[in-house]
Amino acid sequence: MLLCRHGATAANEMRPYILQGCEMNGPLTAIGETQARSLAEALSGFRVAGVYASPLQRAHQTAEFIAKSHQLKVETDVNLRECSVGRWEGLDWETIRTKDTEAHDHFFADPATNPHPGGESYSDVLHRAEPTLKQLAERHQGENIVVVAHNMLNRVILTPLLGLPLRLARQVKQANCCINVIEWTTDRAELITLNSVLHLD
């Protein structure tokens, strides 16, 4: 399984960084489209049996570049959508820390179990996304598939594969249009490659 993050959006390019959860649904920027084309080119040498994506525009648009190079259609699954960040959607961390201090501190005490206010915890995301990825892996045993998802969702999936507690998921970096390679078997998943961006240089 080639688990990728979508290309850059306007929100990704903003500084300070703002949270882009599952409510913001903007398209790729020109930079994001360039990244997506580079990603598609990097994956063109693989024999790909299926291309799957979050239904959010930024992920689906990225996946379309990949699918086109393999003469495939993108299949979407709502369980691959980004983590819901609730009322923090579109805000930067400093604003959240200073204006929603109690909720900020509660969330960071254990983000694995404490949800974003009005949104999801890391465990919530893991519990909906991991079974979906396992089902896709089982459907395509012995085949390569591409899954295009999101920053936080990818981190939540990858953190346990690194042997880290889920509360540390934010420490696992996921660049726009990065590639993670996961080898799934019937009883386990093994991370082979993490956050590869060599194709973007």
* Domain annotation for the chain: domains and CATH numbers: 2-200 (3.40.50.1240)
Q: Which long-range contacts (CB under 8 A, 24 or more apart) does 74-77 make?
A: 75/50, 75/51, 76/52, 77/52, 77/53, 77/132
Whole-number pLDDT of residue 185: 86
As a whole number, mean pLDDT of residues 146-167 equals 99
Asked about 199 being catalytic, the answer comes back as no
Residue 28 has pLDDT above 90, yes or no: yes
Whole-number pLDDT of residue 186: 80
Whole-prediction pTM:
0.97
CB distance 180 to 167 below 8 Å: no
Residue 201 has pLDDT above 90, yes or no: no
As a whole number, mean pLDDT of residues 84-90 equals 98
Asked about 138 being catalytic, the answer comes back as no
Q: Kindly name the residue from 6, 60, 104, 116 that is annotated as catalytic.
A: 6
CB distance 84 to 61 below 8 Å: no
Binding-site residue ranges = 5-12, 58
Counting residues of the chain whose pLDDT is more than 90, the rounded percentage is 97
Whole-number pLDDT of residue 143: 98
Residue 187 has pLDDT above 90, yes or no: no
CB distance 58 to 13 below 8 Å: no
Binding-site residue ranges for substrate = 5-12, 58
Q: Kindly name the residue from 82, 89, 116, 150 that is annotated as catalytic.
A: 82
Tokens of 45: 């040498």
